[in-house]
């Protein structure tokens, strides 16, 4: 069976110029330039931690080092020298997460949001049934974040960027397992795994086909 290995890290220590200067030589020149031009400390920290986490995940999962990371026309990163390896990255607040797999994959992490943010987004992107389920949930914030991360992980697995609209998607659940519909067509090859490992966050992983899933914390 295929594998999907997910790694996460807390990068709250990366918000200082000292931390940036200590680690910036470990990432690609393109990412270094983006960090140098970024104005917000949060942006710099997430850019740095993201690439460091990807490299650490590839090392841990497959013993790959010094890999070249490229970006396709839809903005999805890939490894030109290792087309058999797939990976995806996401971050929220001070947590970054990366999934490495032998099949196309997508990962999304979201911090449980504030109520007024939940309802504004739910009105725009969720189906009538999903919207009602969020409203009736004992924890609407978490219910919305679950639906959001599932959608995002699916879109990222497909790797088509904004060509797939979030409002064209619909999640359905049987015994707690998610199935997803795109334009009312069941996507039978999309398989989900959800993690609540990090307190106050939800993580969803979508893979093309069934996988064995693991999750592990990494210190950068």
CATH code at position 157: 3.90.470.20
Do 193 and 126 share a structural domain? yes
- Which pTM does this prediction carry? 0.95
User: Nearest-CA neighbor of 180 among 216, 121, 144, 127?
Assistant: 127
C-alpha angle 18-22-25 in degrees, rounded to nearest 5 = 135
Environment class of 217 (CB within 10 Å of its CB; exposed 0-12, middle 13-18, buried 19+): exposed
How many structural domains are present in the chain? Answer: 2
Tens of pLDDT along the chain (220 residues)?
999 999 999 999 999 999 999 999 999 998 999 999 999 999 999 999 999 999 999 999 999 999 999 989 888 899 999 999 999 999 999 999 999 999 999 999 999 977 777 778 888 888 888 888 888 999 999 999 999 999 999 999 999 987 888 889 999 999 889 999 999 999 999 999 999 999 999 999 999 999 999 999 999 9
Question: Which residue among 47, 82, 101 closes a domain?
Answer: 101
Looking at residue 7, its pLDDT comes to 98
Do 121 and 58 share a structural domain? no
Three-class SS state of 67: coil
Q: What's the token pair of residue 81?
A: 């020298």
DSSP per residue over 137-186, as a string? SS-HHHHHHHHHHHHHHHHHHHT-GGGS-GGGEEEEEETTEEEEEETTEE
Task: Give me the domain span that covers residue 165.
Answer: 109-210
Looking at residue 74, its pLDDT comes to 87
Please state whether beta strands 2-10 and 211-217 pair in parallel, antiparallel, or not at all (unpaired). Answer: parallel
């Amino acid at each position: 069976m295929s594998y999907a290995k997910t790694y996460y890290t807390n990068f709250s220590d990366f918000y200082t110029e000292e931390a940036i200067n200590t680690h910036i030589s470990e990432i690609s020149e393109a990412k270094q330039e983006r960090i140098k031009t970024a104005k917000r400390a949060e942006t710099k920290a997430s850019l740095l931690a993201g690439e460091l986490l990807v490299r650490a995940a590839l090392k841990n999962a497959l013993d790959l080092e010094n890999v070249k990371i490229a970006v396709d026309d839809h903005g999805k990163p890939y490894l030109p020298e290792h087309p058999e390896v797939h990976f995806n990255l996401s971050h929220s607040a001070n947590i970054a997460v990366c999934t490495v797999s032998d099949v196309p994959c997508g990962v999304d992490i979201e911090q449980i949001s504030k109520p007024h943010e939940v309802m504004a987004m739910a009105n725009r992107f969720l189906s009538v049934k999903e919207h009602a389920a969020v409203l009736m949930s004992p924890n609407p914030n978490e219910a919305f974040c679950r639906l959001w991360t599932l959608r995002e992980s699916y879109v990222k697995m497909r790797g088509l960027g904004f060509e797939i609209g979030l409002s064209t998607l619909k999640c359905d659940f049987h015994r707690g397992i998610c199935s997803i519909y795109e334009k009312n067509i069941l996507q039978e090859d999309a398989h989900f795994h959800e993690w609540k490992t990090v307190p106050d966050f939800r993580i969803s992983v979508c893979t093309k086909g069934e996988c064995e899933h693991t999750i592990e914390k990494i210190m950068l």
